Amino acid sequence: METVNAPDAILESALYVDDLDRAEAFYGKILGLEKISRAANRHVFFRCGSGILLIFNPAETEKPHEPGQLAVPAHGARGPGHLCFRSDAAGIERWKERLTSAGIAIESIVDWPKGGRSLYFRDPAGNSLEFAEARIWNI
């Protein structure tokens, strides 16, 4: 059997929301992510550095695909998910100011025992979002 290396990066990350309009405004205007595409009330996709953030409406993605559509398996999640954006220490402070000035509550700031800092907040759907220094994972 041929040896296969472990994956070296995550290409896509997904969050699930009930209101795509609010999510599109939040991730596009507040966080400044570049929108790649939107498909009606099913999904909106954003570029984030070298990765892609997929925002899905589970009421649509839980449905099986129709004949003639791409054969993407049904999927979805309910309840708050989590996503962490990479930042440096100065960037975390700038994000704290930007989020606060946009009326977004900072839920928590954590100074990790082995070094590094995280800033936690919520998107309009209640997903837990974080800006963190990569050194919290020794990266």
Predicted TM-score (pTM) of the model is 0.92
pLDDT in tens, the chain (139 residues): 788 888 888 999 999 999 999 999 999 999 999 999 999 999 999 999 999 999 999 999 998 877 777 778 889 998 999 999 999 999 999 999 999 999 999 999 999 999 999 999 999 999 999 999 999 999 9
Question: Where exactly are the structural domains of the chain?
Answer: 8-66, 79-139
CATH 3.30.930.10 holds for 79-139 = no
**Domain 8-66 shares a fold with domain 79-139:** yes
Q: Which fold has domain 8-66?
A: 2,3-Dihydroxybiphenyl 1,2-Dioxygenase; domain 1 (3.10.180)
Q: What is the DSSP string of 22-76?
A: HHHHIIIIIS-PEEEEEETTTEEEEEETTEEEEEE-HHHHTSPPPTTS--PPP--
